[in-house]
Chains A and B, each alone.
Chain A
């Protein structure tokens, strides 16, 4: 009896020990050191931009002379700003000084996760589409699904990369010192370096983000504006930049980003949703070939996700070369080979295998997440931070990754709707899945294509991590078979396309002047 009481008391005490009184969560990659690149990449003025033809395509007026009264006053204002920096401003400095490009990528991932929700069905079992002109009306704009977000990551990064290459051109050309180098008595709140201050690189990145993010997430302009105001001005509060460095940076960043946005407006994304006629013709094309066409497994049935995303203009290859990256036809749904694939899914999908469940859920990146392209941007952010890449080199990394991911999406979506292969559960309803079934055809796997494209370009930029990146891509791919939503052939073919696209990005990286 006493033993029981003792045992009960011990159990309670042990529970107290297990119970964490402090519930605050320590997040990864959020509280970071200030960026201190070993190399500021001053020669980035010679790097090849993506959309701009030359780094000076957008003109930027010369700054006022270093000995002018106007500049002297600006430096004094900056010194004053440092001395009077508020707690909120110091918090902004702590946040942004880890790297503007890094932080903008993080903010974009958050916006994607916020908007990665499919529209709920209407009462009459139809679905409405989000409308960019009425972003607050339900369904709110955008539905940041994987293709949408892959494109968002690409344009945001390319705009920042081109704008920073242009900025590095003018930094070299005008060679105006940073405020703390002009006046050594400024007690700078960021690490000092010799990078010329005009235009300010953080304002350039903020200006580019302002244009692209407000276009992609028109319902979040208030949030974006707040971030832009912080990001653009924090180097003044920290003693590095004067007001004209910042205004020139914002002007240049916005002007370059508007050129990138013009490409976006003409890249055929606006046709990607298709129409009822087109959806039907895709189904018919499979029927004519004698195949079982993919149908939506959502209830009520949902129109296919962005069936014409495969026709969006790619970055790394000509749209007319899509057949080069499109994998060979899958086996017929009527073939023994297809049945073998189906049997393999059944064999590998096991809801009682805890380790497989972990892999499925770790990689699912489904509803309400930053999507698989976001997962690879997150990996890239870790690598960029660890390497302490300069702002312009970080932008290049995200641009190469972003273009690879968007082209992976284009290729994968082209393949999916070209072959219209049904999901395993459509063919065999006995296959229960460990994660949600995405609303598009199976062949090829988006996870596999995205992951191999990303792993290939990142392995080139970070060769020491190559083995781990391949391992991650392999696991991302197989997670979809474990989940019961993809055939092994979807992953193999996705790897084929992904590696090809990643290879195009590597070729670009080898010739853009940065290596």
Chain B
């Protein structure tokens, strides 16, 4: 197992902790704090223009990197509060367009374990997450694919079904609904499927379905991930047009995640994730990897 872990780490399987505590089934105990930092790297050369997969010599490979700080605090054993804030920077490998960088959106959420029961020697729980995100700066959103975000305020609700068995086998299913506010842009008119005379862009809401399953113990864990992100509305990028905020962006991604708590560093957790977009619409066919470290503060250990 250690060999496998080493292999995973060496092959760049680092994490995507960004949303980790927002999407996993794990809780901090009361009065315990977990603080983490995470680096994220996303890159694509091919993208879907509507449903046409193509490359574009005027942008080459588009990479989006971010560094986020995140915190998860146990208000009660069954109620956690989670916060996250990333700084994001973008770059295109070809063409003339400049990249962007800046502080992006602050996410804050409450996670509640609504129900828990013993099943087959393990624990099954139903959890809910309710949260919001707000842009922290006046970054330019109408500059896709090189803007650092969409500058929409969001409210999201997530339902999680989580099981962890006696032998540390675990699986999770989740469904998320994301309500997105309209966005103000610098232009006074733009074309979607018709000409609109406003600085305001109507943002369709979005949804996500996710599955994860694998091994989870105190010392280490490794899971396979699959998710489908869907924009509930929006329109396709036209042939040879620029992408736009209110495009119908869909992405199906698969990947894996692993973590290890370093016994010689007071159980500092290192975590890595890799995700590949396998199918999409109006998004890049991206490979995303991330790496993070997480430190727990408190007198008891997590879980």
A residues 218-232 near B (Cβ < 8 Å) are none
Task: Known A118-B240, A369-B191; judge A437-B202 contact (CB<8 A).
Answer: no
Q: How far is the CB of B190 from chain A (nearest CB, A)?
A: 7
Q: How far is the CB of A102 from chain B (nearest CB, A)?
A: 13
B residues whose Cβ falls under 8 Å from a Cβ of A: 31, 54, 57-58, 73, 75, 79, 81, 94-100, 108-110, 130-132, 134, 138, 140, 142-143, 153, 155, 179, 181-182, 185-191, 194-198, 200-203, 238-242
Task: Known A5-B81, A354-B138; judge A369-B190 contact (CB<8 A).
Answer: yes
Task: Known A114-B191, A118-B240; judge A433-B100 contact (CB<8 A).
Answer: no
On whether the beta carbons of B189 and A15 are closer than 8 Å, the reply is no
On whether the beta carbons of A12 and B130 are closer than 8 Å, the reply is yes
Contacts of A106 in B (CB 8 A): 195
On whether the beta carbons of A30 and B134 are closer than 8 Å, the reply is no
Q: A133 near B: Cβ within 8 Å?
A: no
On whether the beta carbons of B182 and A20 are closer than 8 Å, the reply is yes
Q: How far is the CB of A374 from chain B (nearest CB, A)?
A: 9
* 28 intermolecular pairs with C-beta atoms under 8 Å apart: A4-B75, A5-B75, A5-B79, A12-B155, A15-B153, A16-B155, A18-B153, A23-B203, A27-B198, A28-B188, A29-B197, A110-B195, A117-B238, A121-B57, A351-B98, A354-B138, A362-B186, A367-B241, A368-B191, A369-B189, A369-B191, A370-B189, A425-B96, A434-B97, A434-B98, A435-B97, A436-B242, A484-B96
Contacts of A113 in B (CB 8 A): 191, 195
Contacts of B132 in A (CB 8 A): 11-12, 15-16
Q: A138 near B: Cβ within 8 Å?
A: yes
- Which 8 residue pairs are nearest across A and B when measured between Cβ atoms? A299-B57, A15-B132, A432-B98, A110-B195, A113-B191, A361-B186, A120-B240, A27-B197
Q: Which residue from chain B places its CB closest to the CB of A26 in the assembled complex?
A: B198
A residues 4-63 near B (Cβ < 8 Å) are 4-5, 8-9, 11-12, 15-16, 18-20, 23-30
Q: How far is the CB of A204 from chain B (nearest CB, A)?
A: 25
Q: A378 near B: Cβ within 8 Å?
A: yes
Contacts of B109 in A (CB 8 A): 8
Task: Known A15-B153, A23-B202, A120-B239; judge A351-B75 contact (CB<8 A).
Answer: no
Q: A254 near B: Cβ within 8 Å?
A: no
Q: A300 near B: Cβ within 8 Å?
A: yes
Q: Which residue from chain A places its CB closest to the CB of B204 in the assembled complex?
A: A23
Contact with B along A138-178 (1 / 0, CB 8 A): 11000000000000000000000000000000000000000
Q: A269 near B: Cβ within 8 Å?
A: no
Which listed residue, B94, B108, B153, B182, touches A8 by the CB 8 Å rule? B108
Q: How far is the CB of A378 from chain B (nearest CB, A)?
A: 7
Contacts of B79 in A (CB 8 A): 5
Contact with B along A470-511 (1 / 0, CB 8 A): 000000000000001000000000000000000000000000
CA–CA, A9 and B153, complex, Å: 16
On whether the beta carbons of B81 and A4 are closer than 8 Å, the reply is yes
Q: Which residue from chain B places its CB closest to the CB of A16 in the assembled complex?
A: B155
On whether the beta carbons of B81 and A8 are closer than 8 Å, the reply is yes
Apart from A5-B79, A18-B153, A368-B241, what are 9 other A-B pairs with CB-CB below 8 Å? A1-B31, A4-B73, A8-B108, A12-B132, A15-B153, A30-B197, A354-B140, A361-B186, A436-B96
Q: How far is the CB of B199 from chain A (nearest CB, A)?
A: 9
Q: A316 near B: Cβ within 8 Å?
A: no
Q: A92 near B: Cβ within 8 Å?
A: no
Q: How far is the CB of B85 from chain A (nearest CB, A)?
A: 13
Task: Known A5-B81, A11-B108, A109-B195; judge A432-B153 contact (CB<8 A).
Answer: no
CA–CA, A27 and B190, complex, Å: 11
On whether the beta carbons of B130 and A300 are closer than 8 Å, the reply is no
Q: Which residue from chain B places its CB closest to the CB of A29 in the assembled complex?
A: B197
On whether the beta carbons of B96 and A437 are closer than 8 Å, the reply is yes
Contacts of B179 in A (CB 8 A): 19
Q: How far is the CB of A146 from chain B (nearest CB, A)?
A: 15
Task: Known A5-B81, A138-B239; judge A15-B73 contact (CB<8 A).
Answer: no
Q: Which residue from chain A places its CB closest to the CB of B194 in the assembled complex?
A: A110
Q: How far is the CB of A430 from chain B (nearest CB, A)?
A: 10
Q: A357 near B: Cβ within 8 Å?
A: yes
On whether the beta carbons of A19 and B138 are closer than 8 Å, the reply is no
On whether the beta carbons of B57 and A300 are closer than 8 Å, the reply is yes
Q: Which residue from chain B places its CB closest to the CB of A8 in the assembled complex?
A: B81
Q: A358 near B: Cβ within 8 Å?
A: yes
Contacts of B239 in A (CB 8 A): 117, 120, 138-139
On whether the beta carbons of A436 and B97 are closer than 8 Å, the reply is yes
On whether the beta carbons of B155 and A15 are closer than 8 Å, the reply is yes
Q: A297 near B: Cβ within 8 Å?
A: yes
CA–CA, A367 and B241, complex, Å: 6
Task: Known A18-B153, A18-B181; judge A25-B186 contact (CB<8 A).
Answer: no
On whether the beta carbons of B195 and A370 are closer than 8 Å, the reply is yes
Q: How far is the CB of B145 from chain A (nearest CB, A)?
A: 13
CA–CA, A236 and B240, complex, Å: 43
On whether the beta carbons of A432 and B198 are closer than 8 Å, the reply is no
Q: How far is the CB of A359 from chain B (nearest CB, A)?
A: 8
Contacts of A12 in B (CB 8 A): 108, 110, 130-132, 155
CA–CA, A246 and B195, complex, Å: 29
CA–CA, A455 and B166, complex, Å: 77
Q: A274 near B: Cβ within 8 Å?
A: no
Q: How far is the CB of B62 from chain A (nearest CB, A)?
A: 14
On whether the beta carbons of B98 and A433 are closer than 8 Å, the reply is yes
CA–CA, A299 and B55, complex, Å: 11
Q: A91 near B: Cβ within 8 Å?
A: no
Q: A298 near B: Cβ within 8 Å?
A: yes
On whether the beta carbons of B240 and A297 are closer than 8 Å, the reply is no
Q: Which residue from chain B places its CB closest to the CB of A425 in the assembled complex?
A: B96
Q: Which residue from chain B places its CB closest to the CB of A378 in the assembled complex?
A: B189
Q: How far is the CB of B154 from chain A (nearest CB, A)?
A: 8
Contact with B along A343-385 (1 / 0, CB 8 A): 0000000010010011001101011111000000010000000
Contact with B along A396-439 (1 / 0, CB 8 A): 00000000000000000000000000000100000111111100
Contacts of A4 in B (CB 8 A): 73, 75, 81
CA–CA, A351 and B131, complex, Å: 32
Contacts of A121 in B (CB 8 A): 57
Contacts of A358 in B (CB 8 A): 186
Contacts of A135 in B (CB 8 A): none
CA–CA, A295 and B100, complex, Å: 27
CA–CA, A16 and B100, complex, Å: 29
CA–CA, A29 and B194, complex, Å: 15
CA–CA, A223 and B98, complex, Å: 39
Q: Which residue from chain A places its CB closest to the CB of B132 in the assembled complex?
A: A15
Contacts of A297 in B (CB 8 A): 95-96
CA–CA, A319 and B235, complex, Å: 44
On whether the beta carbons of B182 and A25 are closer than 8 Å, the reply is yes
Contacts of A484 in B (CB 8 A): 96, 98
On whether the beta carbons of B242 and A368 are closer than 8 Å, the reply is yes
CA–CA, A106 and B195, complex, Å: 9
On whether the beta carbons of A28 and B240 are closer than 8 Å, the reply is no
Contacts of B81 in A (CB 8 A): 4-5, 8
